[in-house]
Amino acid sequence: MSTSELAWFKSTYSSSGDGDCVEVALTPATVHVRDSKDRRGARLAVSSAAWGEFVAGDFKSPGS
């Protein structure tokens, strides 16, 4: 699946205006993240498990 076929949605933590927003698209194994103001720019793609750890704040710094 190409990133243009993904169902992107705005984070619930983003404001309703035209401010700094994050959009997310989910697939069974991957979470895709992009800047809503630069939809053709860089995207972050991480495993669902890694995203869950990030959101939960359960991540460790390198070397820990």
Q: Would you state the pLDDT for residue 41?
A: 86
3 in a structural domain:
no
28 in a structural domain:
yes
For the full predicted model, state whether its pTM sits above 0.85: no
Question: What 8-state DSSP symbol labels residue 61?
Answer: -
Q: Would you state the pLDDT for residue 28?
A: 92
Question: What 8-state DSSP symbol labels residue 22?
Answer: E
Residues of the chain with pLDDT under 50: none
Domain of 51, in residue numbers: 22-56
Give the total number of structural domains in the chain. 1
12 in a structural domain:
no
Burial category of 30 from C-beta neighbours within 10 Å (exposed 0-12, middle 13-18, buried 19 and up): middle
Please give the radius of gyration of the chain, using alpha carbons only, rounded to the nearest integer: 13
